[in-house]
């Protein structure tokens, strides 16, 4: 018996939600199983290029990234990016999220130049589509800073971290983990540039 696409859409999203619960509980293998069930269900119907499929693939990729299985993470997050490029407007925030995810995986794989290109694309989309003080814009600056710092581009790293800090400080209190983290990055960069 073949399921109707609307049923598959609902059931697939339920599997994804269950996966997100497992992931939040640090049950990575169970999360992967649920995310993959959602993908399998969408593949069996005519939903393989649906924007929700991109979310499921992204979630699988991010779990693999967390497990430091970067080649698998790249496969899934790249598929997600491809779907989003075809079904979303070029300035959609979810597309920026995919560029960000693939960019950080590329950095994990020591493809820093490509990572910077992808992260800049994510930043540009976010600046175009989100309010100026949105935390996702700060995240893009933070991630660019991390990659710049890892490649010895300390001036660009510091500028990126400062941009992120400015946004985070406007959005959250001084004791928020993101604010604390970015301040540590800002303090660290000048010390590294002197070594």
Q: What mean pLDDT do residues 150-177 have? A: 96
Q: What mean pLDDT do residues 151-157 have? A: 96
Q: Please write the tens of the pLDDT for every residue from 22-73.
A: 999 999 999 999 999 999 998 888 777 888 999 999 999 999 999 999 999 9
Q: What confidence score (pLDDT) does residue 5 get?
A: 60
Q: Which long-range CB contacts under 8 A does 16-24 form with residues at least 24 apart?
A: 16/52, 16/55, 16/56, 16/59, 19/59, 20/59, 23/59, 23/63
Query: How many CB atoms are located within 10 Å of the residue 60 CB?
Result: 25
Phi, psi of 49, rounded to the nearest 5 degrees = -110, 20
In the chain, the domains with their CATH numbers are 1-87 (1.25.40.10), 92-195 (1.25.40.10)
Give the integer Cα–Cα distance in Å for 64 and 41: 20
195 or 98, higher pLDDT: 98
Q: What confidence score (pLDDT) does residue 195 get?
A: 57
Q: What mean pLDDT do residues 122-146 have? A: 98
pTM of the model: 0.90
Give the integer Cα–Cα distance in Å for 143 and 74: 17
Give the integer Cα–Cα distance in Å for 185 and 144: 12
């Amino acid at each position: 018996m073949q399921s109707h696409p609307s049923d598959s859409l609902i059931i697939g999203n339920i599997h994804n939600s269950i996966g997100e619960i497992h992931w939040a509980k640090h049950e990575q293998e169970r999360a992967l199983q649920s995310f993959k069930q959602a993908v399998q269900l969408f593949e069996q119907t005519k939903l393989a290029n649906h924007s929700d499929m991109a979310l499921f693939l992204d979630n699988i990729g991010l779990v693999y990234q967390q497990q430091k299985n970067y080649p698998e993470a790249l496969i899934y997050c790249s598929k997600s990016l491809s779907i989003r490029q075809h079904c979303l407007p070029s300035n959609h925030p979810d597309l920026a999220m995919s560029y960000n995810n693939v960019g950080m995986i590329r950095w994990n794989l020591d493809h820093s130049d490509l990572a910077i290109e992808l992260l800049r694309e994510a930043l540009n989309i976010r600046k175009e589509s989100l309010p100026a003080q949105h935390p996702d814009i700060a995240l893009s600056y933070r991630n660019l800073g991390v990659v710049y710092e890892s490649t010895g581009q300390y001036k660009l790293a510091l500028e990126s971290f400062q941009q992120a800090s400015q946004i985070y400080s406007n959005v959250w209190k001084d004791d928020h983990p993101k604010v604390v983290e970015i301040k540590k990055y800002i303090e660290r960069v000048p010390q590294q540039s002197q070594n």
